[in-house]
Amino acid sequence: MIDYFVHKNGLVDLGAQIGARTRIWAFVHILPGAQVGVDCNICDHVFIENDIVIRESRYHQVRCSVMGRGPVLKMTY
């Protein structure tokens, strides 16, 4: 059961982990292996690369790319 929202134009690849109550909007692409915590809001045109961990209650603005090889990313916009 999916307990998060994905806009019809959002793309979450198989293997990505998305937390409860997270909202993923149009033209977002989340790659396999990425982890997005609970209660996050991922706005339009955001790209999240694999091996990225975004903790709970984060907000990522429009046209943001989150990339890197580190195991944990602590960013808030």
Residue 4: which of 54, 51, 42 has the closest Cα? 42
Domain span at 37: 5-66
Q: What is the CATH number of the domain that holds 17?
A: 2.160.10.10
Question: Do residues 34 and 52 touch, judged by C-beta distance below 8 A?
Answer: yes
Residue 59 lies in a domain: yes
Q: Is residue 76 part of a domain?
A: no
| Residues 4-41: tens digit of each pLDDT | 999 999 999 999 999 999 999 999 999 999 999 999 99
pTM: 0.80
> What pLDDT does residue 74 have?
47
Total number of domains in the chain: 1
Q: Is residue 75 part of a domain?
A: no
In a domain, 77, yes or no: no
74 lies in some domain: no
* 64-to-1, 2, 3, 41, 49 alpha-carbon distances in Å: 28, 25, 24, 12, 11
